[in-house]
Amino acid sequence: MNTSSDRFTKKLKISKTIKVVSAFALAIFFLSGISRCKSDKSEKKEPDDYSKEWVAPEEARKLRPGFEDFDIAVRKGMELYSLQCVSCHGPQGYGDGGAAQGQSQKPANFHSEKIKKEPVGALYWKITTGRGIMPSFKTSFTDEQRWSLVAYIRSLSYQEETLVPPRALRPDIKIEHLMNIGPLAVRLLQNPVTGDLYYTTFDGDVFQIRNLNSGHPDSVKILTAADHGIGRLQGAIWNRNTLFLCGNVDLNHKQGTSGRMVRFDFGKSGPPRMSVVFTTPEYPSNKTIYDHGWNALAVSPDGKYIFVNSGARTDHGEIEDNGGLYPNARDNALTSKIFRFPIDTKDLVLPMDTAKLRAEGYLYAEGIRNAFDMAFDGSGNLFAVVNSSDYDFPEDMFWLRQNHHYGFPWLLGGDENPMQFPGWKPDPATDSFINPNSHSWRVHYYYNDSTFPKIPPGVKFSAGVQNMGPDANEYRGHTGRVLDGDQTGVAVSTFTPHSSPLGLFFDTKKVLSDDLRGDGFVIRYTLGRNEGMMRAFTSQGSDMLHLEMTYDKTMDNFTMHTTRIVDGFRQPTDAVLIGNIAYVIEYGGREGHIWKVILPSKTGNKVKSNSKKH
């Protein structure tokens, strides 16, 4: 089934768009040079100083395009781009892919005047050579494929776009556009005292949305990174009239990082007063897209504690030494964990010591790769949705409980990490869980690791919530085939691989219709058909899922039935439920949006979603 999930669609079909730009683009191609470079000297790596401009050598800049038919090259390049480039450069090429945000090396914006003026030979050389987190495609793509990518990159600048709303998958759900916002939006949150909505951006800005119900809302910036000192802001939450912010501070020319949480008290007249909740010692940053940092926040229902996730600094527990600066560095005492602090904590410096963190009561749970969102249900149970690794593991949802270990890096998505076993020989030809297009494979993060840490003695892993379908339950079986839990009867832990669940919320006030009342909901960031890692499993994604959860006493865990109820979001990152309206915010490389998803609140018969798997 083809969905309308790409909300930004071209006003002209691609074939027509190509014809419009072909003459102009081909002129650019052929003006760029007259001879094909045959020397390998142009493919030497640039030094890893990303403050320096990346300039292709002169002989590369003179390269002539390696194809005859521009239209065909664009079509081939579009397929390759969706497989390998979209996660960092974004679906429209604005450099807004979620995978590379927060890195010292920013993905190129293909719409910028600088890139438009680049000779095509320079683009080809950079794709061939790579630098930093962008791998070389010299051996993984043919010469023709690399030129096809260049053609598609050129075509992106000339594709007109129009706004298409998300699509409700049941007739009793309505969707309205609330407002346009700026780029890099991460969190959407409500002040429970005033009722006002706020949103935050990855680079540290905090915006207040005014005139929410007027029909003409706008936003005003109230805080910046200069006010709170958090350069990579990924966590935000209100507790009464106090705003908590959390994220990472880059140190030592971005070779190191530290965690930081602050609060702003808006309760009294005058400007809000800031105080520091905690900071951490400096610990190694890395050069990969896997440096997840401090992000999701949750406040206990009684208001006594604040919880925070500290994501892993690795993909699957491998050594990440930042180019040799930190030998043998993996995850540490401050990463891949959930912490809990008394709500009034001030000026705490967390020790780089797991035993001390546990003894002092700050370490709440361990073994969680990256819980990008957490939320309490109406019964006071805390849940987290987790991004898994490049290996084809499902994406977990965990019921978080104190002193529980959830498996990372030895267990992800209910499956064992093969890197822990001596003698493992990773190869996509023999291990179908390794996607040959994955970043980890291309940069050699899978290897026979004789020093991989052993499972600590006496540790028992807690399983993820078991998804019984009918949606978001595709998985890869041990035979290597992609399977559907509906057809095999297998429960999945928890969501389709590479779907990036986030925006978790619950109907804690039980205001929704009978079949939704008290239940959970989650957003999936990734759209399968536009992302090469997820596409093997489904073309769906970038949607809202309804989670009908049930506690199973025998398992001492939750099972759930998962149903898609809205699709067609574009890079959604967070959601908040106010009454029966779920507000959903989108990341946006050039411009983001906030949507109102109006859920049914009246008592009535159960309404079936018209979602179909594809």
In 361-383, which positions are buried (b, 16+ CB within 10 angstroms) versus exposed (e)? ebbbbbbbbbbbbbbbbeeeebb
Q: pTM to 2 decimals?
A: 0.83
Please give the domain boundaries of the chain with CATH numbers for all domains: 8-161 (1.10.760.10), 173-234+305-598 (2.120.10)
pLDDT reported for residue 103 = 61
pLDDT averages per 10-residue partition of the chain, 614 residues: 32 34 36 32 42 81 81 82 78 72 71 82 87 80 88 78 88 97 94 96 96 91 98 97 97 93 90 96 87 96 98 96 92 98 98 98 98 98 97 98 98 97 94 90 91 96 98 95 96 97 98 97 93 91 98 98 97 97 89 95 70 70
pLDDT reported for residue 161 = 63
pLDDT reported for residue 48 = 54
CA distance 481 to 484: 10
Closest residue by Cα to residue 531 from 491, 497, 501, 566:
497
pLDDT reported for residue 5 = 31
Residues 6+ apart with CB under 8 A from 271: none
Closest residue by Cα to residue 417 from 316, 337, 330:
316
pLDDT reported for residue 52 = 74
Residues 6+ apart with CB under 8 A from 171: 607
pLDDT reported for residue 605 = 59
pLDDT reported for residue 311 = 96
pLDDT reported for residue 105 = 67
pLDDT reported for residue 44 = 36
For 527, phi and psi rounded to 5 degrees? Answer: -105, 120
